[in-house]
Chains A and B, each alone.
Chain A
């Protein structure tokens, strides 16, 4: 038994080592830096000092930070929870047991958004929403005068962009989960006289609950980290209208050159991610 565990340790050691180097150490460093005055330039760059909770005190007094948290939550709820998760589920449901060709065509259209790199999605969306963009041309056919979408509705624009980019992932997760449900259960319910809605809420959803929670968690964590899309489309503006936490963090670290402050913000982002994940697991009573 003893020799066995030693062998296991030897087998595991490369991955433990890699985890340590590339994952644990950076996290510990990030936590340490959040308590320093680390800066990219200026005299603080030379005199690294521990400043205790100063970064966190500053952060919670900063109205920009509070606004950014709010914007992050709005972005998260509308583009991840409502947008991707619900829309992805509806798409998967609509495609269930449909003709293979139909499934493929719809699948390709939706997946196109997902396989496109974030930066390309951002440029496409800028082209779509800009003053002379496709959207304004389309509404122009109906005699509606053009709207400055990225200026007048910046949050709606980035939310739509993120939904387009991410829905395919949720759809695929649900598709495979729905395909797993044995046909005879639903058939039995139909014979017993259950309506489609009842089948959905009492049989289908409970049976794919695990997938829903996992997907929600993944989509939430992914959306919390969305930076390129927002930064390219609006730069966090106009003003602070689309300044989510990652954009705020970038501005503090690379525009104001305050690395310590930036890492402190990243820790808050991490905490939000953890809290959201725990909330999903708790509310859906799923063990992961």
Chain B
């Protein structure tokens, strides 16, 4: 009897030990990076839009082999993250927190780079860029501001740049009796054009704007800031270092959105507008089918219609156009655009920083950096890209590049993500008629003051 009891007790003890050891051993796997067959393995992470992702395709088009042949001791591991824009940010932050999962190179939206730098997730690259001759002369100067942290250190290398404007279908505008090329002088002319299309062309959505909060930063940048920065107000006061949460310009911007979606009803249906894929629906379905006349969106969006794009349009330059978005009353400089883009950074927890930098330098040399933006339909952060054949002669590139002269950038502040999220929610509520423009301003004021503190906001 006694031995039996002892046996049982021993078995139980062994079982629990076994359980514990299994539980602990699984934590040791190396998911992020490491050595593969004696080679240093560099993991590069970016946001992918799926199997047809142009960046992933670009990497696989021989670029990696070229680098690996030149650097036989380094292996490049491509690890795209399939996620929406908002989810991508949280996913990579969670990855960067631990040395086990941190990639060695990561694509960062310039809207989040200051936040991530302040959080200590990113490696300062000042020494590296100081020893890189291209950095000083070849990168467009004002784009460097976007990758500089609040502490003045460089946390990334700008990889793409962009502008925003009004994409339009020339044929539909001509049918409605509107001038082509379209060049509205002020907000009223944009609204008037939309109304005309609504009257003359039933079944055609006059004007698409990104307003669904599931589209994330696009709501703030492609829609709200394109309006706001065309007034005499801004979102952030650089002098007082405070957020301008209530101003005439902000109210007018909200009113413009309300006008389009609720008063004139010239926007897309709410089911399209609030869909997380609103941008893709507009550019891959509605525009090619001739069911959409105008859309405020980024300069990259037109590449959808190129021969290798997701929804090719024959003779695209004759059918489609890209117009500058006007300032509110046509005040100087007449047009406005927001510019942002993506950068490459090295996480602080990366295990192979030297090899990562080596690849980054290769990735961002004149040929490769230009190759990528050509493939993606973006603008290049390098001023010598114009010398590369095939860059400026792309359709729409000249128009988009010209807009860089009037480009404004998002506030250089690590609290931007918080304010932007508030704006996304408010813009959606206004567009869907759940909130008046006046209440929108009030709500923004209250919400930002509550999350950042009363001392961080100002009313104009």
Which of A's residues lie within 8 Å of B, judged by CB? Answer: 7, 10-11, 13-14, 17-18, 21, 39-46, 58, 61-64, 130-131, 148, 150-151, 234-235, 237-241, 251, 254-258
Contact = CB atoms under 8 A, between A and B. Distances in A.
Contacts of B86: 254-255
Interface string B1-37: 0000100110011011001100100000000000000
Nearest to A151: B270
A240 B112 contact: no
A165 B214 CA distance: 24
A17 B21 CA distance: 13
6 contacts: A7-B9, A41-B115, A46-B120, A238-B434, A240-B429, A256-B421
Q: What are the nearest 9 A-B pairs in CB distance?
A: A45-B119, A239-B434, A239-B429, A14-B16, A238-B432, A151-B270, A43-B118, A41-B115, A42-B115
B116 interface: yes
Contacts of A44: 119
A21 B19 CA distance: 12
B417 A13 contact: no
Interface of B: 5, 8-9, 12-13, 15-16, 19-20, 23, 86-87, 89-90, 93-94, 112, 115-116, 118-121, 212-214, 269-271, 274, 276, 414-415, 417-418, 421-422, 425, 428-429, 432, 434-435, 443, 446-447, 450-451
B214 to A, nearest CB: 5
Given A40-B93, A42-B415, A235-B214, 13 more contacts: A10-B9, A10-B12, A39-B119, A40-B119, A41-B112, A41-B115, A41-B119, A41-B417, A239-B428, A239-B429, A254-B86, A256-B418, A257-B418
A257 B417 contact: yes
A64 B428 CA distance: 14
B399 to A, nearest CB: 33
Given A14-B16, A241-B434, A58 B451 contact: yes
Contacts of B12: 10-11, 13-14
Contacts of A58: 450-451
Nearest to A44: B119
Contacts of B447: 62, 64
B212 A237 contact: yes
A43 B116 CA distance: 8
B19 A254 contact: no
A150 B275 CA distance: 11
Nearest to B413: A42
Given A238-B270, A241-B434, A17 B16 contact: yes
